Structure 1
Amino acid sequence: MTETTTTTPPARRWRRHVAGTPGIVIGGGVLVLMILAAYLLPLPFSPTKPDPTATLQAPGGAHWLGTDLNGFDVFSRMIAAGRRDLPLALGGAVISLVVGAVIGLLISRKGKFGERAMRVLDAFQSFPLIVLSVTIVSFSGNAIQNVIYAIVIINVPRFIRLVRSEALALRESRYIEAAHAIGAGPTRVMFRHMLPNVLDVCLVQVSLAAANAVIVIAALNFLGVGVSPPTPTWGSMIQAGAGGIALGNWWLVAAPGVAVFVAVAALNLLADGIQRRFSDE
């Protein structure tokens, strides 16, 4: 009797593991659409060159989302801001993952070094990190790399704690003991055997870190310590239009505010979908 084996086609596996999770489909789909719109959607007006003859026009006509006090087209600036804010948020979250995962694995080794490192981390986290990031960016200048530093400062401690706690739980497992028994060194055990087994929780956290980074970037730019003008960012648009709310110019804040909300919601949905996907396996 001949035994036949069947292999599930990759497309079917993708539908089962990804398309069957609403959070991944909706959150990931919205995020992809926002990135594609930021880079591929043609801008009807320049996001950095205002038109003084078209100030504070309500949404409609040539200016779909209206114009601001300086004559900037709100729609063009909102889309162009996505080219800056989204890559900064995603890039900062990925850098935080890499740095935090490496440090978390290194201090998960047996001995007093890990405990002492965690006490230092506790002392560091006792400071309001958002205030610390604002201070660093304020003194170091309004440059893109400084905004990334702020994102990393806020998110790295979370990855360190997460990866270290997962690594400590894995350290007592049988396959880790077997790896030590066959002569695998500590570095190989950490990065060859432990790291792949903590990536699932890291993927969830990196989506949450990116959502947090969107808020941090908006906050920094709202406070005027982020990316220098006239480069459009969602936070600076909200800050510039905040004074117009009392005058009825609601569209100045509504458009960038909705963009921040949708980006954060999409990333949180993506994180929830990834968590559900791994918990079902």
Structure 2
Amino acid sequence: MIYRAAAAFALAAIVWQLPASPVGAQERLTREALSGADYVRGRLAFQQRCSACHTLAEDALHLAGPNLWEVIGRTAGTREEFSYSETLREAEFAWTPDRVDDWLANPDSYLPGNTMLIPEPVPDRDRLPMISFMMLETGGADWPRPEIDIAALETPRGESPAERFPSFWNHLMHNTTRYRWVDDQQEFVFDAYYNKDGSVTSSMEGVDGFWHIDERDFFCYALQGLPIRPNYFVQCFPVAAMAIPRFSEQLWQSPMYGGAVLYGGILPGRPTDDAETAAPE
């Protein structure tokens, strides 16, 4: 799931548009439902949809989105050392399982003006197990974690990336990654092509790079030769976060140094070897 940095919305409009939560309203996601949810399904849903932007463990770093430790019960927009949108800072509600459920169903309609970008709403079938998993991993559950051999859920490390992560591999290695860089002086768009030999080529002259998958199963890459200062950047994200193939010019955004923002997306296909690969207009 990917966080856009800063967008303002008037407090009066926020209060007017927030879904009503009447005093005494019956909760939908009861303790019984949450404690009985499918932990494995919730873990997988979080990895695929949220782990590129959020961490769960206590004292873990913020990514594009805030760390979620003890998020249940906390007032929205108050996590220290994270730059929330004005909309969330002024929302004045505390996160409950039901509020998280409504939020994940459609962040834009739940709280217009917030800056969390997700490619698609989390499906009904995944939200209950994912919220249960999040509560267990962020100190918000009063029921025990199920006894599951987590190691048995992992793909054997002896296999190649193409064998371990076939959906991710096919999506990234056979399609075009579209980037848009925006800072206070310029905006430009370029395409990148991730290749099976670990190299990265580009539609922009002089831009190239490399990638690898580290021991944490994070996909890390570096691009250099860009018309910025310094002329390179490095990023890492969990492979699981791209396990569900999606196409759009904007699937994520990342805050960069100097206040710049990097937007990224995936477009179907890529130029053939003999095709012209001019920078997109």
Specify if TM > 0.5.
no
Higher helix share: 1
Higher-Rg member (1/2) = 1
- Normalized per residue, which structure has more strand? 2
Q: The TM-score by the shorter chain falls in which range?
A: under 0.3
Q: Greater RCO between the two (CA within 8 Å, min separation 6)?
A: 1
TM-score (norm 1): 0.21
Normalization by structure 2: what TM-score? 0.21
